[in-house]
Structure 1
Amino acid sequence: MVNQIPCAKITLSYPLYGCAFDPTDASQLIVGGGGGPGRNGVGNKISLLNTSDPEQVVELADLELSPNEDNVTSLAVGPRKDRNLTVFAGVNSGPDDIKKGKNQHFRILSIHQPGKAAKSSGVKISEVARETLFVHKDADTYQRILRLSHPYQGFPQLGAVATGLSKDPQVALFDVPGSGAVRWKLRGRLDIPKEAMDLDVVQTGPDTYQLAYCDDHEIFTVEVSKTGVSDPKCVYAIPPDEGQPTKASFKSLRYLTPGFLITVVNQPKSGGVALHGYRLPTEEQGHARLSIKAKLPHTVSKATGLAVRNLSPVQSPVEKQGEAQFVVAVAGNDSSISLFTLEHKAAASVELLADLAPFQVLKSVHPSNITGLSFSAFTPPKGSSKSPTELSVKLASVAVGFTTVVHSIPLKKHVDKSAPARKGGPPKQSRYVVALKSQGESPVTVITLVTIVALVLALIGQVFLEAKGLTEPRLGAKNFLPASWTIPLRKGPVLGSKSIGDLLSDIRPHHTQQLIIRHDEDAVAVGPDGLPNLHVGIHDEEKHGPATSWENLDATAQDLWKDRLKKSGHWVEDMGEAIFKGVLFGEIGGAIGNIVGEAL
């Protein structure tokens, strides 16, 4: 079994602040940084590195930038046209220009390569354009964040930049054509009350995008379409900790899919780091919900960066994400990188996050603080005769100590046993996952938790039996519980193999209260379709939460429920929808996500 991650390192002549892989070639890495204006002996540069050898990194070419201007602070790689690769960068103008109110911080560069087998002498990096995207003239402002949406062949990308150290924080959006990316067009600007700690962009349709950004304590989303750019909407706020004067704070943010975000959260007073996965709202007034979370090792008191890579990416923005594994990397203030895998599940038109698990901690990766992380793109190979180097995803990290380190994370083919067979193809669908085994919790911790849970459940069970008069009153619970708790309960039956029509017919003659169809609150109870069991019973809003009658459900929710009932064998279209009249329905999408998230 694979248990090591190959590593290669190179030391350059300048401190590094940004890195990004060529999205069409995982062997090409662009890095940038420098000493800023007026620093003796330390230049400002952008370099192209070759990472094809998992044990060696080679510098192919570099571009020496003006020593009178600032260093490179952010990088992103755009599309390729012919033999030219476009690179976007953040580089502040020199102090003299800034004093005059002129700061052309947005740089567009081109990397010309004569061919795939070109030697370093044939590669040329040149600047082709420089612009100003921020309108405020604050002398301390610089372009701290630069991000592009995921590239899809034949579709344009959306880019976003955000200010740093600005008295008037701003986010600027720009279009990047699908080819010939030297051309670009400003899409709009957002004036925001607090500076963005991080941001990301995702394409949601052929001509639509969503921007997500976070400040210290809140997450905002912005809708971008042909008709314009919406105002930021707060979809999540970190709740205050009881008894704590300060709250946890967001450090980094990335999209997993258009429906899910993952964030890095630093606890107050350097108290540790956590990864949080959120389900984004589908309606205008909704809020994001915490779906899954995990903690970093206790040796990491703060995080400094985040990178994510989908190992089964969709081929177009209109394609729905199926079963997939994501690789997640978090840089710590101890120069370590914590690696996690995260599963995306899709069944019965419902998407879930599951199994956010660590698989390795890379310790002391750099001798100084890590300033940038980037995963290479991974395209599943076609055919079976592929070299081992092709079955890997590369993780690059850079630091102020002039070092670039590239880890090659091994992958393997994985067959989804629950996936249906495809006609005319392999018996089961396959995808790629990390070849290293994820680390589980400590056995001592698990045993302790199981023991505590067993004792608590036994106590609850005894209280329940005493309240219903089904056992001797050893605890005397009946004397301390409200009368409503001691009334015998009628639990709604699991649907099992019965049709929904049969169960409703059985229950309705005996009850006048409203009936509800809902998901089992116990995430362990799973039906044949891999989702929590369904129950039919009397609606108790205090216990089950809010519910909506069939007539008041929107078309999307009705379709989701019909699809859920149909795939679990409880309803067919011949029954019609009349049997649902007057029946309440619980939450269909977020509820399942919460069940799985809480169980993990």
Structure 2
Amino acid sequence: MANSIPSTTITLSYPLWACAFDPHHPDQLLVGGGGGPGRNGVTNKLTLLDASSTPNEITKTAELELSAQEDNVASLAFGPRRAKSTVVYAGVNGSPDDVKRGNNQHFRVLGISPSNGKAAGTSGVQIADNSRHSLFSSTDPDTYQRLLRVTQPYTGLPQLGALATGLSKQSQIVLFDVPLNGAAWKPRGTLDTPDEAMDLDVVQTGTDTYQLAYCDKHEIFTVEVSPDGVSDPKLVYSLPHDDGPTSRPSFRSIRYLNSDFVFAVVNNANRKGVILHGYRLPKPDQESARLAVVRKLPKTVTASTGLAVRNLSPAASPTEAHGDSQFVVAVAGHDSSISLLTLDYKTISNVDLLANLAPFYTVKSAHPAGITGLSFSTPPPAPKRSKSESDVSIKLASVSMANTAVVHNIPLKKLINKSTSSDTAASEQARYVVALKSLRDRKGWWLLFGTLLMFTTLVCVGLAIIEAKGFGEPVLGTNRLLPASWTVPLKKGPVVGSKTFGDLLTDVKPEAHEKVIIRHDDLGAVDVHGLPVWKVEIHEEEMHGPAKSWEELDEKDRHVWRERLQKTGHWVENMGETVLKGVVFGEIGGAIGAMVGEAL
């Protein structure tokens, strides 16, 4: 079992601001950056790196030097592969003079292809600057192309790209088509946004349909893209206000997990920590996204600067059902650290769940200066069930303003799916997961010990009560030690109805101003019926998201909760609904409950 993550570093001659792995060649890494316009002596470049040549070395395959009068490379994304050439899109502002004239050709289309002759210091590959375009309507000289994303490539299907302004007085997001047949890209639509997008991502939802998700400081929006056109942005989630506007947390990064879930990084105000959120996106008949999983990073990570996410078992097409899989998550910290976590995607009783968001490794001081970009390589193909696999890994690249590019090789191991699916073939599939144990696994023995200790304590307390009340033969002898008034036998009769629901709330003792929340367990625990286990805690809106009282739930949600509590024995009809008042019900509980209810 691997217990560390090997890495390789290369130092270039210019600060790096963007990086991206070629999805068709997972060992090829493209980085870009520079010193911007002026006479600072630092060039603006793009460099293609080979991370597979030797275990301890990254080599330069090709390099393109841009004009010293232009801005540095600020964003990168790979497009389709055509014959022997690969299309790359980049964000590079024009020269200050061109920008002032309103001719900022910030959107660059590049090509990586074999060179006619093997140039000195290269491997017979060249990077060509093929075309330049101006897509933003703003003539503000401070405007530049800060964000750029392209959908995951699928065999035989076109892709969609999106880019967004930075520092502009008129914030915009531009969508563009990425055809398959060798034709040039073409504009798909432009969105004027009241606030600058902090981050964005795009996902393919069908053969010719897509969705854009973007976040400003406090809100997440989605946009539907189809042959009929581009929809207006839909607000799907707002971060709650805490004690005031100056203490409100803000979004830093957002990435799709698939078409049903997005993952976001939230920075608390005043550099007071980082929280990771996974959201279930709303269905067409729903208004809001639901918080599905939450995790705080250690206090040493006061703010985040970047995010990368990769599914280790991606679907082969956008219409293929998603089976059980694991995501690997990388979060760049303001202290130049990289927090690595795993997140499990599970299907239980036809309900898709996120569970087990847990750290497995932390890279401290990964770079001498701030991290400016993160990128995962394409995962290896699914393993064969009967074939032995060894030395399999996925690569994580990170770049910094200190001219450094680092590639970490995260070891993977084969796992045989133990799916709850009735499809025997699907339940026997093999897949890859991260080989290093997560923090929750290391705490497993302590959790088991604590559970056994609690169980033993409850048994002893139960026996003590039984003896004190004169039921059964004495075992502990507690009846001899207690006052006589305590040992008067209880009257026999039915148990008070509210006791079974009270058991659910036994361990929670709220203060007068606090509320108790019932929500879905983050670790994905299920009961004997295969249904999610509910968790009861003091409600903290920052951690648990918004919640509703029993009176605020609509009748459909109440029905789901009644069904769920009846199935687990916490509520029976003759209790009445009075016992359900005084607690609040989490949004995620409602979302999961709704789907469970439909399956009942």
Range class of TM-score, shorter chain: 0.7 to 0.9
Aligned to 1:360, the other structure's residue is in SS state: strand
The change in CA–CA distance for 1:235 and 1:421 in structure 2 (over 3 A counts) is closer
The farther-off stretch of 86-95 and 45-54 is 45-54
Displacement after TM superposition at 1:113 (Å): 2.5
State the Cα distance separating 1:529 from its structure 2 match: 3.6
Task: Give ranges in structure 2 of 5+ residues lacking alignment.
Answer: 466-494, 502-517, 535-548, 568-584, 596-600
- The residue type equivalent to 1:436 in the other structure is L
Aligned 1:493-572 pairs, distance under 5 A: 526-529=527-530, 531=532, 542=550, 545-548=553-556
Aligned to 2:201: 200
* Contact 2:160–2:175 (8 Å) recurs in 1: yes
Structure 1 residues not aligned, in runs of 5+: 466-485, 493-518, 534-540, 569-585
Letter in 2 for 1:351: D
Report SS of the residue matched to 1:240.
coil
Residue 86 of structure 1: aligned partner? 87
Are positions 1:22 and 2:22 aligned together?
yes
The match for 2:122 among 115, 120, 123 is 120
Report the Cα offset of residue 241 of structure 1.
Answer: 1.3
Aligned CA distance change for structure 1 residues 281 and 422 (closer, same or farther; 3 Å): closer
Aligned to 1:129: 131
Partner of 2:540: none
Instruction: Answer whether contact 1:153 1:178 (CA < 8 A) is retained.
Output: no
Report 1:479-498 matches (<5 A). 488-489=497-498
SS of equivalent to 1:548 = helix
**Aligned length in residues:** 505
Could you tell me how far apart the structure 2 residues matched to 1:258 and 1:154 are? 19
Equivalent-residue separation in structure 2 for 1:525 and 1:404 (angstroms): 43
1:226-375 counterparts in 2 under 5 A? Answer: 226-242=227-243, 245-375=246-376
Q: Distance in 2 between matches of 1:297 and 1:490?
A: 39
Rounded to whole Å, the distance in 1 between the matches of 2:71 and 2:194 is 26
1:98–1:9 distance in 2 versus 1, CA, 3 Å: same
What TM-score, normalized by structure 2, do the two folds share? Answer: 0.76
Please list the CA deviations of residues 175-224 of structure 1 after superposition, one character each: whole Å capped at 9, or x if unmatched: 001353x6101000000000000000011111111100001111111111
Question: Which amino acid is 1:92 matched to?
Answer: N
Structure 2 equivalent of residue 481 of structure 1: none
Deviation of 1:66 (Å): 0.7
Read off the aligned partner of 1:591 and give its amino acid letter: G
C-alpha contact (below 8 Å) 2:313/2:382 kept by paired residues: no
d(CA) in 2 for partners of 1:114, 1:385? 39
Secondary structure of the corresponding residue to residue 439 of structure 2: coil
Equivalence for 2:144: 142
Q: Counterpart amino acid of 1:406?
A: V
Distance in 2 (CA, whole Å) between partners of 1:489 and 1:65 is 73
Counterpart residue number, 1:504: none
1:402-441 to 2 correspondence within 5 Å? 402-419=403-420, 428-440=428-440
Q: Structure 2: which amino acid aligns with 1:175?
A: D
Distance 1:214 1:227, change over 3 A: same
**Cα distance in structure 2, aligned partners of 1:196 and 1:491:** 49
CA contact (8 A) 1:421 1:428 kept: no
What secondary structure does 1:299 align onto?
A: coil
Aligned 1:102-121 pairs, distance under 5 A:
102-113=103-114, 120-121=122-123
Provide the C-alpha distance between the structure 2 equivalents of 1:33 and 1:373, rounded to a whole number of angstroms.
14
TM-score (norm 1): 0.76
Partner SS for 1:41: coil
Q: Deviations over 1:331-374 (max 9, x none)?
A: 00111000000000113321100000000000111001000000
Name the SS of the counterpart of 1:440 in structure 2: helix
Alignment of 1:90-101 (within 5 A): 90-101=91-102
Aligned to 1:591: 590
Q: Distance in 2 between matches of 1:253 and 1:436?
A: 25
Map of 2:166 onto structure 1: 164
Matched-pair contact (CA < 8 Å) for 2:519–2:586? no
Counterpart-to-counterpart distance in 1, 2:246 and 2:163:
32
CA distance in 1, matches of 2:366, 2:520: 43
Q: 1:7 to 1:587 in 2, by over 3 A?
A: closer
Q: CA deviation at 1:542?
A: 2.7
* Structure 1 residue identity aligned to 2:166: G
Quick check: 1:291–1:593 contact (8 Å CA) kept in 2?
no
2:214 matched to which residue of 1?
A: 213
**Paired residues of 2:112 and 2:127 also in contact (CA < 8 A):** yes
2:44 matched residue in structure 1: 44
Aligned residue type for 2:439? Q
- Are the structure 2 counterparts of residues 381 and 221 from structure 1 closer, same or farther at C-alpha, using a change threshold of 3 Å? closer
Change (3 A) 1:421 1:285: closer
Q: Deviations over 1:560-596 (max 9, x none)?
A: x9xx9xxx9xxxxxxxxxxxxxxxxx99996364899
- For residues 114 and 134 of structure 2, what CA distance do their matches in structure 1 show? 28
- Matched to 1:139, the amino acid is P
CA RMSD between the two structures: 3.9
1:295 offset after TM fit, Å? Answer: 1.2
Distance 2:93 2:85 in 1: 24
Deviation per residue, 1:449-478 (Å, 9 max, x gap)? 979x979x99xx99xx9xxxxxxxxxxxxx
Per-residue deviation at 1:298?
Answer: 1.2
Distance across 2 between alignment mates of 1:549 and 1:336: 43
The 1:298/1:107 distance shift into structure 2, 3 A limit, reads same
d(CA) in 2 for partners of 1:549 and 1:337? 40
Kindly state the Cα deviation for residue 262 of structure 1 after the two structures are TM-superposed: 0.6
SS state of the match for residue 310, structure 2?
Answer: strand
2:354 aligned partner, one-letter code: L
**CA spacing shift, 1:272–1:446, aligned 2, 3 Å:** farther
Q: CA deviation at 1:233?
A: 1.0
Query: How far, CA to CA, are the matches of 2:427 and 2:526 in structure 1?
Result: 28
C-alpha contact (below 8 Å) 2:383/2:431 kept by paired residues: no
CA contact 1:195–1:215 (8 Å) conserved in 2? yes
Following superposition, the deviation at residue 99 of structure 1 comes to 1.1
Find the residue that maps to 2:372 and give its secondary structure.
Answer: strand
Shift in CA distance, 590/154, structure 1 to aligned 2, threshold 3 Å: farther
In structure 2, the CA distance between the partners of 1:521 and 1:378, relative to structure 1 (3 Å rule), is closer
* More off after superposition, 541-550 vs 273-282: 541-550
Which residue identity does 1:548 align to in structure 2?
K
**Cα deviation 1:21-54 (Å, max 9, x = unaligned):** 0001111000000010113321100010001134
**Aligned-partner residue type, residue 33 of structure 1:** G
Deviation at 1:418, TM superposition (A): 3.9
CA distance, structure 2, for counterparts of residue 346 and residue 143 of structure 1: 39
Pair 427,161 (structure 1): closer, same or farther in 2 beyond 3 Å: closer
Inter-partner Cα distance in structure 2 for 1:295 and 1:205: 34
Aligned to 2:49, the other structure's residue is in SS state strand
Contact 1:422 1:429 in 2 (8 A): no
Residue in structure 1 matched with residue 179 of structure 2 by the alignment: 177
Q: Indicate if the aligned counterparts of 2:19 and 2:30 stay in contact, CA closer than 8 A.
A: yes
Q: What SS does structure 2 have at the residue aligned with 1:155?
A: coil
CA distance 1:3–1:488, change in 2 (3 Å): closer
For residues 520 and 152 of structure 1, what CA distance do their matches in structure 2 show?
37
- For the 8 Å contact 2:308–2:376, the answer to whether it is kept is yes
